Structure 1
Amino acid sequence: MSGATASRPPAVLFTGFPGFLGSALLRRVLARGDGPVACLVQSRYRDLAARRARDIVADVGDEGGDGAAVHLYEGDVTEPDLGLGAALDDPDLLGGVEEVYHLAAVYDLSVDADLAEAVNVRGTEHVLDAAERVGVDRLHYVSTCYVSGRYDGVFTAEDLREGQSFNNHYEATKYRAEVAVRERMAEGLPATVYRPAIAVGDSETGETDKLDGPYNLLRLLLAQPRRLAVAFSVPGAADTELNVVPRDYVVDAIAELSGRPETVGETYQLCDPDPLTVPAFVAAMSDAAGRRTVTVPTPKPVAKAAARVLSARGVDVEPATIDYFDHLTRYRCPNATDALADTDVSVPPFESYVDRIVAFARANPDLGDDPMT
């Protein structure tokens, strides 16, 4: 563990920094004056975290003027005390933390079961233990809409334990993590849960930190001729909604909702209330990529096998993404829509920013799809 004692000890603790979402949200939290902020950082990301912290502080300013708007603490959510030891009990270090933002997770559809369990489930339990040990006023937990698993029907913020099955270890472990959060909330922990849908790049700049999820479709399209590209169409795709939101919406929504006392105890699905179906999504992506695309009806096992072959030949198409082409769960977010109704925060239509995310992906083909773990 490493950290710095300053004239003002941290009021907020972040996990998930210097990740893309965590970095953007940290900027917003500091800008509204909620710092100083302590960031739990794995040692291998310490240099990156230091650079991003300096850039953020330079942009938003240092309210205290002592250069301590951001404190970096080396640790890991997979360790029982987050690797922070006695710092959690010291009021000059982390003992005075009032709020925790828990974003650290393995966001990877093909994640190994043991890694997903260690980070997503036990990591969340360790953060919950630390929050209770410090006696925080509030926990902000970033979950996912896909705690739904393969639920056949409309899934809202009111739903969680519905006897659902899961597409992969990512979904299953995020589900168990949210169950753990909800249990602590029932015991009195003041917390708010945020469930983003499938997050893609920034709606204004297209920026993202990794090309995963829907970007698999884009890679498939770009690997084919402009005049004729082929995409899979599995049974059930025509009736499937692909719920995609830009990452700036997710950040803006969490920043807005986390600053309100009345949102304590609530769960918010940060999803598109009017998402595209899979065929409409493929059409929008094809247009932005400049491809004339034909969808070929393909049995799901065949589509997954073809994705594995393509990946082996250099076209990185993750087979796990095929499961979302017949994912019949429909996500709705009435309480999030109502809570954000009088603000400037809303979900832009995918068609309004797809050109930007495609342009960014084309300009940054080496980003890859590896998660920050």
Structure 2
Amino acid sequence: MSQDEDRTTGGRTGTADDTENLRRSAAFLVDEALGFLFPAALRAAADIGVADHLADGPATPDRLAAATGTDARNLHRVLRLLATRGVVTEDERGRFALTAAGQALRGDVPYSVRAAVQMLTDRTMWRPAGELTHCLTEGTTAFEDIFGLPFFDHFAKDARTAAVFHVGMAAMSDQENAPIAAAYDFPESGTVVDIGGGHGGLLLEVLRRNPGLQGVLHDRSHVLAGNRLEAHPELAGRWRPHEGDFFAAVPAGDIHLLKRITHDWADEDCVTLLGHCRRALRPGGRVLVVDAVVPPGNAPHQSKALDLMMMASLTGRERTEADFAELFARAGLRLSRVIPTPTVLSVVEAVAA
């Protein structure tokens, strides 16, 4: 090989600019590969509740370590990394303070996402994400290979994991529910069925904003036990719980809500579920799938990251507008419109075909 040839350009003569670009690429990719340590640090901070001890102002790692029962030097190292992403900030005296962006890591504030961070970085999400190569070579989720059961079957046998998931999902949804409920023009009367509605946060917001509506919260019995609607006496008589498996049947209604449900499941499962909705839909009714809609192009969008989480741990996926249209058609429905909301989610509306 001549002196003008460069191994990094495949044996072709490369310019100095080519070599510099490759060096920059190498540095960039190494930095990206280290990116997994930020959510690891974020989880550690959530686990020990350090943000709550910053509510009254800046504090040193020594003071925070004493309050949280942790090692001061290692806590400083975690906080130092979080400061690089604007979750906390370190002053010239070595004290750390929460930024505006980090406030929701506290557990004592409205819209706290502490439980959501713990869910998204739980071992049920974290470990399969490290096995994406398995998903590529085998075409299947990595979850069952690691835990021995499919995702939701594992939940049924592991109360700890189930609690982390449902509490975390409720926390993740809290900041979404009000703007989603406000973004859609619900009818003045009728029954809204929140299918797989968890603790009922979205249904609560819908009923608050639409006093003429009745509600049904449909989920498994152990999930319904944690519902939030019972804590609101002003809604008494306007809603009822309904225990069931949405793959078997769903209650009749004028509006069927499915928030963050279809992305958990493979296409065939979604067609089954949407088919149940179609049969249970009253004349003139609508199915509202509230999920991320993957946009075209190269721009960042949370749906593209969530899609890999679905690939690693579940059987579902995030979908484009065309994907939703195809699912609806197979279930006897027709996509009528996609309504964006101020959140990462959209309301994908379907009517009877």
Q: Shorter-chain-normalised TM-score: which range?
A: 0.3 to 0.5
Q: Higher helix share goes to which structure?
A: 2
When normalised by structure 2's length, the TM-score is 0.34
Q: Which has the higher contact order (CA 8 A, sep 6+)?
A: 1
Q: Which has the larger radius of gyration?
A: 2
